[in-house]
Amino acid sequence: GQNIDQPTEMTATEGAIVQINCTYQTSGFNGLFWYQQHAGEAPTFLSYNVLDGLEEKGRFSSFLSRSKGYSYLLLKELQMKDSASYLCAVRDEDQAGTALIFGKGTTLSVSS
């Protein structure tokens, strides 16, 4: 079966650091993606990991451990505009093409 778990909600304050975890169980694995989705809008691409380790991109970093079926998204120097849903998605190599399997998303609320 396929299962992707991430916390439903998280809260943090401006300037802080937050880590959003994602665990996955899929029949195959060909990369993990993080997307940001503001309410009523389309998901926008944040990061991609296919090998173990940390990928850093500005204030955002993403980590992957394939042996543990685990990833996290790290957001530094939080800003109010970071309030959004963060979606973890796995590309399952058993799926034809590049279908992504998404978690339910983590709603992050940043307060001042």
Partner 1 sequence: DAGVTQSPTHLIKTRGQHVTLRCSPISGHKSVSWYQQVLGQGPQFIFQYYEKEERGRGNFPDRFSARQFPNYSSELNVNALLLGDSALYLCASSLHSGSETQYFGPGTRLLVL
Positions in the binding site for partner 1 (CB under 8 A):
4, 30-31, 33, 35, 41-45, 48, 50, 87, 89, 91, 95-105
Which CB sits closer to partner 1, 14 or 38? 38
- In the complex, the smallest distance separating the C-beta of residue 74 from partner 1, rounded to whole angstroms, is 20
Distance CA 52, CA 38 (A): 28
Distance CA 5, CA 72 (A): 11
Distance CA 77, CA 15 (A): 4
- In the complex, the smallest distance separating the C-beta of residue 9 from partner 1, rounded to whole angstroms, is 11
Which CB sits closer to partner 1, 15 or 28? 28
Q: Quote the tokens at residue 89.
A: 């998605």
C-beta separation of 73 from 64 below 8 A: no
